[in-house]
Amino acid sequence: MKTNFTDANYKEVLANTKELIVIDFWAEWCGPCKMIAPSVEELANEYAGKALIGKCDVDENNDMAVNYGIRNIPTLLFIKNGEVVDRLVGALPKAKIAEAIEKNL
């Protein structure tokens, strides 16, 4: 996965991205986060050019997590035109994540 969202870069990335943005909020110690990581990686490749899919480590980027009200991980935020349009929480199957991406494209 190419895009890592951080406290330092996320506002600039959001401002300069026209397509749907999907942010996977995760942490190294989170088992469910590790479970969905391969699916998120595959979807990032499958939707390249249609959606920007990246990750945000909540332990290293607390300001960003607080700004978006992330209380549980994994959480996937779907952002379009700078606004959160959808949110998925928990270890969901790849098909469910893909369905949310399609709905929000």
Q: What positions carry a catalytic annotation?
A: 30, 33
Tokens matching residue 44:
């990032």
